[in-house]
């Protein structure tokens, strides 16, 4: 997220973000990733997401290789009203009502579930009260306008800050839970 609350430029560009992570932030992200066994994806984001990580794991020398393996190996669920079958590895489709599909997944046994985007998809999840934890990485940039994830929220909602951790590379992670 930018300092001014956006998750992408209006075009979806992430060129304003900072990627030279330090050990502490890499550990945070690895721990978070290891705590989940399922990744939810909005339809629009899926192609880019999967091709990025498939590319990263082509070469074991790629610094993104280890994380890429996790992204490719973990079961993924793509939400789409229009697709008939999944074109991607380790990926199934959720084609029914959003709340029904996500509730079904949450009721299963297993580790936690993570969603990274896209903005429209995450907005729907938030609007329908389906999110239990927010890990918002605040990047050191002001972008003026762009994609939002809280636009569907009806009125003021308080959250509980669980922790806020600044990292040396300038990003701060703010971890929140919805307040009961």
Partner 1 sequence: MRKIIIFNMVSLDGYFEGPNRMIDWHNVDGEFNDFAIEQLDSAGGLIFGRITYELMAGYWPTKEAITDDPVVASKMNSLPKIVFSKTLAKADWNNTRLVKSDVNNEIRRLKEEPGKELYIFGSSGLCVTLIQNKFIDEFRVIVNPVVLGKGKPLFAGLKEYHKLKLIKTKTFKSGNVLLCYEPEN
State the minimum distance, in angstroms, from the CB of residue 1 to partner 1: 8
Measured from the CB atom, is 34 or 132 closer to partner 1?
A: 132
| Rg (the chain; Cα; Å) | 16
State the minimum distance, in angstroms, from the CB of residue 65 to partner 1: 28
CB 127 within 8 A of CB 152: yes
State the minimum distance, in angstroms, from the CB of residue 133 to partner 1: 13
Please give the C-alpha separations between residue 14 and each of 19, 111, 159, in angstroms, as whole numbers: 10, 29, 26
Measured from the CB atom, is 82 or 154 closer to partner 1?
A: 154
Binding site for partner 1 (CB under 8 A): 2-6, 9, 15-16, 18, 136, 138, 140-145, 148-161, 163-164, 166, 170-172, 174, 176
Please give the C-alpha separations between residue 18 and each of 21, 110, 120, 165, in angstroms, as whole numbers: 8, 33, 23, 16
State the minimum distance, in angstroms, from the CB of residue 153 to partner 1: 4
Encoding tokens for residue 52?
Answer: 């990025």
Measured from the CB atom, is 9 or 24 closer to partner 1?
A: 9
- Host H or E run for residue 172: strand 172-178
DSSP label of 106: H
State the minimum distance, in angstroms, from the CB of residue 164 to partner 1: 5
CA distance 51 to 121: 19
Measured from the CB atom, is 110 or 140 closer to partner 1?
A: 140
Residue-level length of the chain: 180
Measured from the CB atom, is 96 or 140 closer to partner 1?
A: 140
């Amino acid at each position: 997220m930018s300092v001014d609350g956006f998750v992408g430029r209006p075009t979806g560009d992430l060129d304003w973000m900072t990627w030279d992570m330090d050990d502490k932030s890499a550990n945070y992200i690895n721990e978070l990733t290891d705590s989940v066994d399922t990744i939810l994806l909005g339809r629009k984001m899926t192609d880019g997401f999967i091709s990025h990580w498939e590319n990263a794991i082509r070469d074991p020398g790629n610094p993104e290789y280890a994380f890429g393996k996790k992204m490719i190996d973990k079961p993924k669920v793509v939400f789409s009203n229009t697709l008939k079958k999944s074109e991607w590895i380790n990926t199934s489709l959720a084609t029914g009502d959003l709340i029904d599909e996500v509730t079904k997944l949450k009721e299963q046994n297993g580790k936690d579930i993570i969603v990274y985007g896209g903005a429209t998809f995450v907005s729907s999840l938030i609007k329908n009260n389906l999110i239990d934890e927010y890990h918002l990485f605040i990047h050191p940039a002001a972008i003026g306008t762009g994609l939002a994830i809280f636009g569907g929220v009806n009125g003021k909602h308080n959250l509980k800050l669980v922790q806020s951790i600044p990292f040396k590379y300038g990003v701060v992670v703010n971890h929140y839970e919805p307040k009961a």
